Amino acid sequence: MVSKFSIPRRILGKTGYKISSISLGCAPIGSVYGKMELNEGLNIVREALSHGINIMDTSPFYGETRSEKNLGIILNKLKDEFPRNEYYLCTKIGRYRDDYFDFSPKKIKTSIEESLNRLQTDYIDIMHAHDVEYSENIQQIWNETLPTLEEYKAKGIIKNIGISGRPLSVLDYVMKQYGYDKIDTIITYNKYILFDTRLLNFIQRFKKYNIGIIHGGTTGLGLLTLQGPPSWNTAPKPFIQACNNAIQYLQSLQSLQSKNNNNNNNNNIDNIIDNNKYNIARLAFLFTHNLQDIHTTLIGWTNTQQFYSNIQWLSQYIDNNYQLTEEDQTMIQYLQNNIFHDVMNIGWIEEGSEKNIIESLTKYWRQKHMPV
């Protein structure tokens, strides 16, 4: 158990919501990262809410509705401790399986009703169109999908609307076509992590239009962890190798520090603190969280111990006056300049998204909205 403290709050764009700077990603509750018992999910949600995390995100895609269903059961069990008005609930429409996308108005209407039932609520705080880069007809997103969500927003069933996806050029393209002023929030992922900071290329425009920025994860979907990525992570070999090299480098620093501690007769507590300092997941978490323009960082904890570790790292960050330590900054700079240099800010394209990525970029070129 980690003692409670005040998690930083940030205003989520047009929503006006004062949200916690870290948020609860609920994909693991749908057993996306391995089987999770309902009781473990309940413990994670209870700990998150009791520590001041007040925003959580799910989707019917996660575990083929299991995430929504289990989250609804959990929140219902906790309703006396944490009433519905004490947290913000986000879910999505449009993506339902790896290969099943449907952004049509008809499907959206049934999807919203089903999500409300599974989550056992009568409103959704933020509804995102899920992974729009995979839409067979990208124009459908601004011609049909978002206008349909607007209808539900007018009824009060949805409080805010947005889009989610990985390629920022596609998200930006959709928002431009529909109107930046009508988009409340976005969710993207892998766009401000240790080896990819391309979110910075879009930050000023998103800030101008007061768009809430939710960033999914800090570890590149498991690449920046000691256990490594899950089998479904499609990262090419050079990215996997670079992350393994980064882990080995930090472990070499850890070994050297442990040797120095032993030579200086430092106690076991010093060794534990120093060893934790070289955990790549800690550096990855602090790096992403440190960007103040990201309003909240979604973390999908698979057990309570992971949650407590993140809370401890955040507490240390707060104790350092909401800044990275000089040592952390030095390690991050070394990793980016000397280990991630061949993969830095390149990323990879997921199969099925190519057409919309190309359209988003060529449209910019033809309309002269981007420098050549």
Residue 322 a catalytic site member: no
Q: What is the DSSP string of 225-263?
A: SSS---TT----HHHHHHHHHHHHHHHHHHHHHHHHHHH
Residue 134 token pair? 């995979």
Three-state DSSP at 75 gives helix
Cα separation of 69 and 165, whole Å? 23
Listed in sequence order, the residues at least 6 apart from 33 whose beta carbon sits closer than 8 Å to its beta carbon are 27, 230, 300, 302
Cα separation of 234 and 181, whole Å? 34
Task: Work out the number of other CB atoms within 10 angstroms of the CB of residue 17.
Answer: 22
Long-range contacts of 270-273 (CB under 8 A, 24+ apart): none
Q: Which one of the listed residues 17, 62, 152, 278 is annotated catalytic?
A: 62
Given a contact cutoff of 8 angstroms between Cβ atoms, the answer to whether 315 and 5 are in contact is yes
Listed in sequence order, the residues at least 6 apart from 85 whose beta carbon sits closer than 8 Å to its beta carbon are none
φ, ψ dihedrals at 57, nearest 5°: -130, 135
φ, ψ dihedrals at 163, nearest 5°: -130, 155
Annotated catalytic residues are 62
